[in-house]
């Protein structure tokens, strides 16, 4: 992709020069976002229209608050597990009692508003740096566990069956789901899976011009019409009887504004409410920060997002979305990557994608109501697989066996308990491994570092004991404060351990210094051995060396 001489900015002055490329990218991202917004909403136990509300608000409102030029704001698969957990704990019955389901939805909206307000304060008080605390392996384990749960929940829906039960129970029932699937719905779901998993293998750029989710809809909507899925009727196959009907299709209202729903705040101060406020604000903020960082890394113009400002934008968007019936939103990585690949220049592409969704749902709701739920389920199975792909396990093993242990421990912890307890287990395992590898226990809680300035004007930061994830924030603040005292030398020779998370973040910090015409030199690792051949693998000091 060619880049203009002037760095594009999403300001009033940047609106006219780049509107064509932003409009085209916004339209192509809209094609991807439409089915995903619907599928994520239903997987969360919310009405299908909820995800559209969120994407519209994220596109239009968040664009005004964030300087992140290429991120797409909207509902994300990574929050499905939290959202469905929230409505379930508030009494969601998966359709058996519609009034109870609607009340659970309203109570979850109240929690969503409170979580949005928390995110606003995180942004205003510049607390986004707290996202730097979590060890890399535990974060990846959290995302992989979310992917596994999504797959476990959506496989039965893809085959035309119910998805009630805990993740481990659903995983054990997969063979039974295959045997007992509804053949017509299963056919649509399996075809959708083939398209979603096979599409990345296609090399022809003309064929790949249409996003895979839209290809799925172009195939499955006509199939649904052929089999008359929307009409209540029974059919026989292989000597067994099965039923079809509107329950297997998406259902959005003819007038989207009639679906506006206002929160019930009576659950906010309860144990359930407080738990999910923490989960929505913590996990949502963490995912947004990770996505914004990932997008900055592939931005052709190397523009940097103000992460506190981006969290403020997400918090405002979440607050407004929950006030009208929408899902929680984050800066979403898959759609953001598509936005870059499609040639977007500024944040107005995010706004256009939201406006396209608004117009489409307002004008042709009948078309949306022909989409089979099995097709949306297949898209989410693919999304879950991407979060928990075998490559993630292989990557963690390459980084180091201790990283794989933390990664797997977090996954098992989440599947056996919940998200908060799971990531806490991952962090605890990481801490134990550090102590086993020689890190003093005190080094897990307190940074021991001296700052000196020599006669030649070089600032020396000497770290002792160990440099690990839990004390990284303290070191980062010191280094940030010294950028105007360049050159800065970080001496790690007196550490017994420098973990993978810190090694990774030190690489990012070196790049930040370079971009600000400053210099950060890292030395003192010559007497440390790498635990693997991976470039940012943890370093452990060799016995007897200083």
Please tell me the predicted confidence (pLDDT) of residue 515. Answer: 85
How many C-beta atoms lie closer than 10 Å to residue 139's C-beta?
21
Q: Residue 17 in 3-state DSSP?
A: coil
Provide the token pair at 252. 């959005």
Contact 377, 259 (CB under 8 A): no
Q: How far is CA 234 from the centre of its chain?
A: 40
Total residues found in the chain within this entry: 546
Please tell me the predicted confidence (pLDDT) of residue 129. Answer: 83
In this prediction the pTM is: 0.91
**DSSP annotation string for 76-132:** -GGGHHHHHHHHHHTT--TTSSHHHHHHHHHHHHHHHHHHHHHHHHHHHTTGGGGGG
What is the C-alpha to C-alpha distance for residues 182 and 185, in angstroms, rounded to an integer?
Answer: 5
Q: Which residue do the tokens 């099965």 mark?
A: 242
Contact 331, 68 (CB under 8 A): yes
What is the C-alpha to C-alpha distance for residues 49 and 53, in angstroms, rounded to an integer?
Answer: 7
Please tell me the predicted confidence (pLDDT) of residue 314. Answer: 96
**Domain assignments of the chain as residue spans, ordered by start:** 13-384, 388-436, 441-541
The residues, ordered by sequence, that sit 6+ positions from 330 with a Cβ below 8 Å of its Cβ are 73, 74, 76, 78, 79, 284, 287, 288, 291, 314
The residues, ordered by sequence, that sit 6+ positions from 233 with a Cβ below 8 Å of its Cβ are 243, 244, 245
Which DSSP category does 434 fall into?
A: H
What is the C-alpha to C-alpha distance for residues 243 and 527, in angstroms, rounded to an integer?
Answer: 69
Across the chain, how many H-helices and E-strands are there? 22, 10
CATH fold for the domain made of 441-541: Transcription Regulator spoIIAA (3.30.750)
Please tell me the predicted confidence (pLDDT) of residue 544. Answer: 57
Contact 396, 142 (CB under 8 A): no
Mean pLDDT (the chain) is 93
- E strands, 318-453, are 330-332, 449-453
How many C-beta atoms lie closer than 10 Å to residue 518's C-beta?
17
**DSSP annotation string for 121-170:** HHHHTTGGGGGGSS-HHHHHHHHHHHHHHHHHHHHHHHTT----S-HHHH
Torsion angle, alpha carbons of 275, 280, 285, 290, to 10: 110
Which DSSP category does 532 fall into?
A: S
Q: What is the pLDDT along the chain (546 residues), one digit of tens a residue?
A: 445 568 999 988 889 999 999 999 999 999 999 999 999 999 999 999 999 999 999 999 988 889 999 999 999 999 999 999 999 999 999 999 999 999 999 999 999 999 999 999 999 998 878 778 899 999 999 999 999 999 999 999 999 999 888 899 999 999 999 999 999 999 999 999 999 999 999 988 888 888 999 999 999 999 999 999 999 999 999 999 999 999 999 999 999 889 999 999 999 999 999 999 999 999 999 999 989 988 998 999 989 899 899 999 999 999 999 999 999 999 999 899 999 999 999 999 999 999 999 999 999 999 999 999 999 999 999 999 999 999 999 999 999 999 999 999 999 999 998 898 999 999 999 999 999 999 999 999 999 999 998 878 889 999 999 999 999 999 999 999 998 888 999 999 999 999 999 999 999 999 889 988 899 999 999 999 999 999 999 999 988 544
The values of phi and psi at residue 466, to 5°, are: -150, 155
């Amino acid at each position: 992709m060619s880049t203009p001489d002037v760095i594009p900015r999403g300001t009033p002055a940047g609106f006219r020069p780049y509107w064509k490329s932003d409009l085209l990218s916004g339209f192509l991202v809209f094609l991807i976002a439409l089915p995903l917004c619907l599928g994520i909403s239903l997987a969360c136990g919310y009405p299908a229209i909820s995800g559209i509300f969120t994407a519209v608000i994220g596109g239009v409102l968040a664009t005004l608050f964030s300087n992140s030029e290429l991120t797409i704001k909207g509902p994300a698969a990574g929050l499905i597990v939290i959202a469905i957990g929230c409505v379930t704990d508030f009494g969601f019955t998966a359709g058996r009692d519609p009034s109870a389901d609607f009340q659970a939805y309203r109570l979850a909206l109240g929690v969503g508003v409170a979580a949005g307000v928390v995110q606003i304060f995180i942004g205003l008080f510049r607390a986004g740096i707290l996202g730097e605390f979590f060890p890399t392996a535990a974060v990846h384990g959290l995302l992989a566990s979310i992917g596994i749960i999504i797959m476990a929940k959506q496989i039965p829906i893809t085959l035309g069956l119910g998805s009630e039960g805990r993740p481990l129970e659903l995983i054990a029932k997969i063979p039974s789901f295959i045997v007992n699937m509804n053949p017509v719905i299963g056919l649509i779901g399996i075809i959708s899976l083939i398209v979603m998993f096979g599409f990345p293998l296609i090399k022809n750029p003309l064929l790949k011009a249409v996003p895979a989710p839209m290809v799925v809809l172009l195939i499955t909507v006509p199939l649904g019409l052929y089999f008359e899925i929307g009409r209540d009727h029974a059919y026989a196959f292989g000597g067994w009887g099965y039923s079809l009907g509107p329950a297997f299709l998406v259902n959005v209202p003819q007038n989207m504004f009639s679906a506006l729903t206002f929160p019930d705040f009576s659950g906010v101060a309860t144990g359930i409410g407080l738990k999910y406020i923490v989960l929505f604000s913590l996990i949502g903020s963490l995912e947004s920060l990770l996505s914004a960082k990932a997008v900055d890394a592939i931005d052709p113009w190397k523009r940097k997002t103000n992460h506190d400002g981006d969290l403020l934008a997400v918090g405002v968007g979440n607050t407004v979305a929950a006030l009208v019936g929408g899902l929680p939103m984050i800066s979403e990585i898959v759609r953001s990557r598509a936005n870059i690949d499609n040639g977007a220049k500024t944040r107005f592409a995010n706004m256009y994608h939201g406006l396209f969704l608004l117009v489409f749902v307002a004008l042709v709701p009948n078309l949306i109501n022909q989409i089979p739920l099995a097709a949306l389920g297949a898209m989410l199975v693919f999304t879950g697989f991407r979060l928990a792909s075998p490559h993630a396990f292989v990557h963690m093993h390459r980084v180091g066996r201790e990283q794989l242990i933390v990664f797997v421990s977090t996954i098992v912890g989440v599947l056996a308990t919940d998200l908060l307890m799971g990531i806490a287990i991952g962090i605890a395992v990481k801490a134990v491994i550090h102590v086993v590898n020689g890190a003093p226990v005190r080094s897990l809680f307190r940074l021991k570092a001296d700052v000196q300035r020599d006669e030649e004007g070089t600032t020396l930061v000497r770290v002792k004991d160990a440099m690990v994830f839990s004390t990284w924030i303290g070191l980062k603040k010191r280094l940030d404060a010294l950028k105007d005292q360049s050159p800065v030398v970080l001496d790690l020779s007196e550490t017994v351990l420098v973990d993978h998370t810190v090694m990774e973040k030190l690489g990012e910090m070196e790049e930040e210094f370079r971009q600000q015409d400053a210099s950060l030199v890292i030395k003192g690792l010559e007497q440390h051995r790498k635990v693997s051949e991976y470039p940012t693998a943890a370093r452990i000091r060799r016995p007897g060396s200083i």
